[in-house]
Amino acid sequence: MEPEERAPSLLEAIKDFSEHSSPVDFVIIAQHWEMFLTGIGYTLLIVAVSLIVGGALSLPLAVARAYRTPIVNQIIFGYVYVFRGTPLLVQLYLVYYGLGQFEAVRDSIFWPVLKDPLWCTLLTFVLNTAAYTTEIFRGAIEAIPYGEVEAAKACGMSSFQRTTRIVLPNALRRALPAYSNEIIFMLHGSVVASTVTIVDILGAGRILNSKYYLAYEGFLAAAVLYMLLVLIITRGFKVWEKHWHAHLRPREV
């Protein structure tokens, strides 16, 4: 008698369906969750550090632009124009591949940093987002009603006090919607990090596709992860805006 064939287990049935019947091999994606988790970590690290440092740099630059500080305003305008006028990928290539062509750079104390792809990516992203955020905050500062500034003057506040107590808090509230878009743009722009050997979310998807000769499974997984991160960002900013703009909501009588 021939031995009875063993019935396939549930896991084997799911794997067989994923490999032969499903349009997407989701099992092979799940098997490489650690690689995608590493990609998420690098993506969040790059975006978070860039936004924190770039945001801190942009505040004084935006104030100088909005107050039309002589000479400094023109220098900041030139910096902003260069980084807003060129693609992020080109900027990254110029920093990562371009700076190493100069012997003075290779012999300097900065070379240990500039030869590392992660540090080059962080430097490029910080300068890029600082340029965009500077213009966002500048526009928010200039949109503050002049009467509020005049009222602060009438209360005897100095220029520094008016800026820190009235202008900047008001400007940050006004800039929230535009700044949330900048965060999402930076998250999307972080995909260029994979072009300089960093295994971010897209880099993990590329490795998966090339390893198993897949057409789109890695890219589809990356797209889903980016969408989830964007969902978290948008929900977070809705809560933030609701808190900061609570005084603008109509009150019940």
Question: Does 72 fall in a domain?
Answer: yes
Neighbouring CB atoms inside 10 A of 124's CB total 26
Return the half-sphere exposure (C-beta side, CA atoms, 13 A cut-off) of residue 208.
27
Contacts of 186 (CB under 8 A, 6+ apart): 47, 50, 51, 125, 129
CA atoms 94, 180, 237, 149: torsion sign: positive
CATH number of the domain enclosing 163: 1.10.3720.10
Question: Does 64 fall in a domain?
Answer: yes
**pLDDT at residue 19, rounded to an integer:** 60
First to last CA, the chain: 87
Q: Which residues of the chain have pLDDT under 50?
A: 1-2
Question: Does 150 fall in a domain?
Answer: yes
Question: Does 5 fall in a domain?
Answer: no
Q: For residues 226 and 187, is the Cβ–Cβ distance under 8 A?
A: yes
Task: Determine the Cα–Cα distance for residues 3 and 153; give it in Å rounded to an integer.
Answer: 94
Burial of 78 (0-12, 13-18, 19+ CB in 10 A): exposed
Question: Does 71 fall in a domain?
Answer: yes
**pLDDT at residue 15, rounded to an integer:** 65
**pLDDT at residue 1, rounded to an integer:** 43
Q: For residues 127 and 83, is the Cβ–Cβ distance under 8 A?
A: yes
Question: Does 231 fall in a domain?
Answer: yes
Range of the domain at 15: 10-244
Domain count, the chain: 1
Question: Does 2 fall in a domain?
Answer: no
Task: Determine the Cα–Cα distance for residues 225 and 30; give it in Å rounded to an integer.
Answer: 13
What pTM was estimated for this model as a whole?
0.86
**DSSP label of 250:** P
**DSSP label of 245:** T
Question: Does 68 fall in a domain?
Answer: yes
**pLDDT at residue 110, rounded to an integer:** 87
